[in-house]
Amino acid sequence: MLEPDQTDVKILKTLTFDARLSSRQIAKQCDISIGTVLTRIKRMEKEGIVKGYAAVLDHEKLGYELTVVTELTVSKGKLLEVENEIARLPNVTCVYDVTGLVDAVIVAKFKDREDLSKFTKRLLNIPYVERTNTHVVLTTIKEDFRLT
C-alpha cells in the first residue's frame, strides 16, 4: 500500500467536507486534473483508505439526546470476541481497544434513559464482560472525524 501524499490528503480533506462534490469540483479545489482525482480516489478506495461515503448527521436533531462513553473490562482473553459482538449492537458508534486500566471504550447514542439502561444491562450479560463504567456526556464540544 502506498503512503498517501500531499495530493491524496488534499483530495481526502475535500471529500470529507463534501463527498457529493463532482470530480471536476474536487479537481478545481485541489488545483489538479480531473484524471488525477479519478485515479487517486479509485486507488484509495481499492486500498481501503476510503471505505465509503456518508452524510454527517446531527444526532440530537434525530432524537438521540444521550451520548455515553462506556469503559469495559473483559476477562479470559476474549476481548476481540466481545468487542466484535458489541460493535454489532444498535446505537454503538465506536468501539476502541485501549491501553490502561480498562480493556475497551465504547461510544453509543440513545434517545432516552430507558434505552441506555437496556444497553448497559445487555453489556453486562455478555459472557466475559466483568465490569462497565459508563459516563454520560453532558456537553459535546467537538465531534468530528473529518481530517482538518
Q: Tell me the residue range of the domain where 128 lies.
A: 60-136
CATH of residue 22's domain is 1.10.10.10
Other CB atoms within 10 Å distance of the CB of residue 87: 12
- The pTM (predicted TM-score) of the whole model is 0.83
Domain presence at residue 55: no
Bridge partners (DSSP) of residue 107 are 69, 94
Q: Return the C-alpha cell found at 59.
A: 444526532
Domain presence at residue 87: yes
Domain presence at residue 116: yes
Q: For residue 144, what pLDDT is reported?
A: 85
Residues of the chain with pLDDT under 70: 1, 147-148
Tell me how far apart the alpha carbons of residues 46 and 133 are, in angstroms, rounded to a whole number: 39
Q: For residue 55, what pLDDT is reported?
A: 86
Q: Return the C-alpha cell found at 124.
A: 453486562
Domain presence at residue 52: no
Distances (CA, A) of 39 to 3, 8, 35, 43, 48: 15, 10, 6, 6, 14
List alpha helices for the chain, DSSP H.
Answer: 6-17, 23-30, 34-46, 79-87, 113-124
pLDDT tens by residue, 123-137: 999 999 999 999 999
CA angle, corner 141, sides to 135 and 145, nearest 5? 90
